[in-house]
Structure 1
Amino acid sequence: MAFSSTITRAAVAVALLAAASLAEAQPKPTLAFDYLYRRDDPAYEPHRAYTGLVLRDRHRPIDGAETALKESRVLGRAAGVAFELRQTEVPPEESAADAIRKAHHEAGASLFLLDLPLEDLKKAEADLAGEPDPLVLFNIRHGADELRGEACSALVFHTIPSEAMLTDALAQFLQARGWRDVLVLAGAEEADKALSAAFARSAAKFGLEIADERPFVLGNDPRNRDQNNVALMTGDARYDVVFLADTIGEFGRYVPFSTYRPRPVVGTEGLVPDAWHWTLERFGAPQLNQRFDRTAERAMTATDFAAWAAVRSAVEAVLRTRSTDVATLRAFMLSPDFGVDLYKGLVGSFRPWDHQLRQPIVLHTHNAVIAIPPLEGFLHRTNVLDTLGADAPETRCKLD
């Protein structure tokens, strides 16, 4: 009997080892992310002032996706899923939609992180609208409200905050501080006009008054001094705060401390609303910043965070559904059961009406986080994060 028992135990051990070896030999299901970009994208060209100073030096946000993938490896092993990150450069002669189709059919990618110019993104979502296979396109770069409104797409999930979310966050802060009269200084760029228009809507939403909106021009021409001299531009109005819309930054860097009245500056200078900042010191954010720094050897930016959040959202959906089927993941990300920790104090989720990732907004100076709206006192019937950006009754997005 003892000999028989020993043989039985040995047989069981051999069977378990064989099963384990077979499991290891079987390939794991793979979830592939594809980072799509154009090499000569003007957004990444350094912007220099006439003196040669570099005012804008942007980095590709793929480092955020790589950080998220490194974090997810252990979780992937536990779930029996392999995660991959690929890169696809879109040639000048090819459309983004064709590049996506090729990556999907030839390499099996179905989750795409889009780091493309705005018009490229809009054309891609339109061209791919009738695709039979399920795809998820993550917008990790553009805050344009039109992408969540009249130009929205069922294929696109937005992990970068909308302009409305950013300006709503600022408006909440100004209302909470009692700074209700706002002087707006706006540039001539289309992005400047869109930002100032978004702030005007936020001001109306939260009970602020626009004292005046004044355009500025670059240069030292004395004939234009009423549009290029900050003290003159801000001298004959009564206001509590200045909102600045200067997405290039060449004029705006001179506005703080130069206004005729001693008033705070918010917007693209001074107190700035964003998805992320390297000085965020709560909710586990320092650990995320450290992990990113080890990957990229630089500070994390808003677009880095958006790329990170896109990957983390999909990984969370895989872990919760135990599936790598893109249609299943997409449906779960839009369900009330989905949630992702964004290291900003509140759990993020996707709005079903426009696919925008709900998230707190960081209000920061150059080296400190001042507040993280939504702020206390601004209530919502279902989700306080929906006080930022287009709520369901306000949306112009028609996904049906």
Structure 2
Amino acid sequence: MFCFTQTLRIINLRIAAALQVLLLSSNVWASDLTSFNIALIQYADDPRYRDDIIDARYQAQPWGRLDTAVELAIKESRFAAQKRGIKFELVIHEVDELALLPELILSLQAEGSQFLLLDLPAEGVKLAADAAQGSNTVLFNLSALENNLRDENCQANLLHILPSRRMLTDATAQYLISKKWKEVLVLHSEAEPDRRYLDSLQASAKKFGLDLVALKPYTLGNDPRQRYQNNISLLTAKDDYDVVYVVDTTGEFAVDVPYSIVKPRPVVGASGLVADWWHWAWERNGAPQVNKRFVKKAKRQMTGYDWSAWLAVKVIAQALLDRPQQGSSSFSVESLLKTIGSEEFKLDGAKGYPLNFRPWNNQLRQPVFLTSLNRVIGRAPIDGFLHPVNNLDVLGSDNDEGRCQLNPGGSL
């Protein structure tokens, strides 16, 4: 008994010593890793994150802040990055006023933050991008859909992970044409974001041949003096149409439109059938595993906004692993964007297509889902809608459209 106990004791001591050596060596190895700083920048008073909006869980709206998705992607990328001598440091910054963004960007650059993830409204993205123009910093637009960021306000070191508004309206227009639902009644507000949304819808209608039979402004509320603008039955009673398209960037009005219209017609746009770039009900291409990992960490379902944050880190990790140089001293925006813009650079976003960036405006090529609450109804590009170079480019502004031509004939 004594000998057996002594033997176990010796074995345990040897195991402990081996573990200690392994721990020390791993700590030394970790300390030798090249660190790349990722800064997630948020706006404290962002109206998209109001408590009542988040609690309502409107379709195609953010259901929570994006830090969880960023942290998940860093965790998933850590092993491959460490094997190549790289580690990521995440810092989260929140500004109380958008006007403070230029100062924050300059301070982050001085601290050595190479990658800035922008969870900001369009105005904030533009301010941040202007402050970082020409710098050794890569910015990622995670949550601003506005077309002008990919058009007249595009920038060489600003990458757009989420689709443009035009890509979403193109996807819906394709689906309506494929179903032969060509006569469209449009309900829209007079708010500036919805006016821009309406412009995208009109461009998509012209591109694919939809007939917008009437454009009717609505008002959110129940004031009886405005009943012809806030009463859904009155708004939809007179015209003849195949489908009602609700233009609503917040989702607050749109949520009540299905089953409130006079005629038995489908509702699309901001409610009913909604174009979204991610949906937790997508059951193919590894998406269930991505969703499961996110739900475990966030305690809620993954949205398109979360997917954008998750994929931005994947872009960073893959670009750093693919580039020929290693080490922060050799890091440059030019070399990194060259890697991202090469034909060999492909991303797996769990959406069924290899994803990469359009060289003329830095927009991520990607399919768009047509969703309805707890189901994915379809995926655009819809079968039959083809493009001579890349079928994903049938969504949104093509190479010969728009006012952004960063590199129309080659890589980023």
TM-score, normalising length from structure 1?
A: 0.88
Q: 1:330 to 1:260 in 2, by over 3 A?
A: same
Match in the other structure for 2:117: 113
**Alignment partners' CA distance in 1, 2:86 and 2:255:** 48
Q: 2:215 aligns with which of 208, 213, 216?
A: 213
| Aligned amino acid, residue 44 of structure 2 | R
Q: 1:36 aligns with which of 41, 49, 53?
A: 41
User: Which runs of 5 or more structure 1 residues have no equivalent in the other structure?
Assistant: 1-16
Matches within 5 A, 1:349-360: 349-360=356-367
Q: CA deviation at 1:341?
A: 0.5
| Aligned amino acid, residue 154 of structure 1 | A
Q: CA deviation at 1:254?
A: 1.7
Match in the other structure for 1:392: 399
**Alignment partners' CA distance in 2, 1:247 and 1:37:** 19
**Alignment partners' CA distance in 2, 1:78 and 1:341:** 20
- Asked if residue 82 in structure 1 is aligned to residue 87 in structure 2, the reply is yes
Match in the other structure for 1:368: 375
Q: 1:322 to 1:205 in 2, by over 3 A?
A: same
Residues 150 and 398 of structure 1 are in contact (CA less than 8 Å); yes or no, is this contact kept in structure 2? no
- Asked if residue 138 in structure 1 is aligned to residue 140 in structure 2, the reply is yes
Q: 1:322 to 1:200 in 2, by over 3 A?
A: same
Deviations 1:43-81 (A, max 9, x none): 3222479xx979787411121111111111121122221
Deviations 1:98-124 (A, max 9, x none): 212212222x21111011232222122
Residues 33 and 82 of structure 2 are in contact (CA less than 8 Å); yes or no, is this contact kept in structure 1? no
The 3-state SS of whatever aligns with 2:90 is strand
Residues 72 and 294 of structure 2 are in contact (CA less than 8 Å); yes or no, is this contact kept in structure 1? yes
Match in the other structure for 1:193: 195
Residues 386 and 394 of structure 2 are in contact (CA less than 8 Å); yes or no, is this contact kept in structure 1? yes
Q: 1:375 to 1:228 in 2, by over 3 A?
A: same
Q: 2:129 aligns with which of 125, 144, 153?
A: 125
The 3-state SS of whatever aligns with 2:117 is strand
The 3-state SS of whatever aligns with 2:93 is strand
Deviations 1:184-237 (A, max 9, x none): 000122222111211111111111111111011123344433222222211221
Matches within 5 A, 1:341-356: 341-356=348-363
Give the root-mean-square deviation of aligned CA atoms.
2.4
Q: CA deviation at 1:29?
A: 1.4
Q: CA deviation at 1:337?
A: 2.0
**Alignment partners' CA distance in 2, 1:54 and 1:358:** 27
Q: Which moved more, 1:216-225 or 1:301-310?
A: 216-225
Residues 353 and 395 of structure 1 are in contact (CA less than 8 Å); yes or no, is this contact kept in structure 2? no
Match in the other structure for 2:13: none
The 3-state SS of whatever aligns with 2:261 is coil
**Alignment partners' CA distance in 2, 1:241 and 1:53:** 25
**Alignment partners' CA distance in 2, 1:94 and 1:219:** 32
Q: 1:241 to 1:25 in 2, by over 3 A?
A: closer
Match in the other structure for 1:67: 72
**Alignment partners' CA distance in 1, 2:34 and 2:231:** 61
Residues 170 and 363 of structure 1 are in contact (CA less than 8 Å); yes or no, is this contact kept in structure 2? yes
| Aligned amino acid, residue 336 of structure 2 | L
| Aligned amino acid, residue 364 of structure 1 | T
**Alignment partners' CA distance in 1, 2:382 and 2:295:** 29
**Alignment partners' CA distance in 1, 2:340 and 2:158:** 12
User: Which runs of 5 or more structure 2 residues have no equivalent in the other structure?
Assistant: 1-21, 408-412
| Aligned amino acid, residue 36 of structure 1 | I
Q: CA deviation at 1:310?
A: 0.7
Q: 1:240 to 1:351 in 2, by over 3 A?
A: same
Match in the other structure for 1:320: 322
- Asked if residue 336 in structure 1 is aligned to residue 343 in structure 2, the reply is yes
Number of residue pairs matched?
A: 377
Match in the other structure for 2:12: none
Q: 1:371 to 1:21 in 2, by over 3 A?
A: closer
| Aligned amino acid, residue 382 of structure 1 | V
Residues 66 and 295 of structure 1 are in contact (CA less than 8 Å); yes or no, is this contact kept in structure 2? no
Match in the other structure for 2:249: 247
What fraction of aligned residue pairs are identical, expressed as a percent? 41
Match in the other structure for 1:13: none
Q: Which moved more, 1:92-101 or 1:356-365?
A: 92-101
Residues 115 and 140 of structure 1 are in contact (CA less than 8 Å); yes or no, is this contact kept in structure 2? yes
| Aligned amino acid, residue 42 of structure 1 | P
Q: Which moved more, 1:314-323 or 1:276-285?
A: 314-323
The 3-state SS of whatever aligns with 1:382 is coil
Matches within 5 A, 1:50-61: 58-61=63-66
Q: Which moved more, 1:71-80 or 1:93-102?
A: 93-102
Q: Which moved more, 1:326-335 or 1:173-182?
A: 326-335
Residues 57 and 63 of structure 2 are in contact (CA less than 8 Å); yes or no, is this contact kept in structure 1? no
Residues 47 and 57 of structure 1 are in contact (CA less than 8 Å); yes or no, is this contact kept in structure 2? no
**Alignment partners' CA distance in 2, 1:54 and 1:278:** 13
- Asked if residue 155 in structure 1 is aligned to residue 157 in structure 2, the reply is yes
The 3-state SS of whatever aligns with 1:357 is coil
TM-score, normalising length from structure 2?
A: 0.85
Q: CA deviation at 1:27?
A: 0.9
**Alignment partners' CA distance in 2, 1:193 and 1:124:** 24
Q: CA deviation at 1:329?
A: 1.7
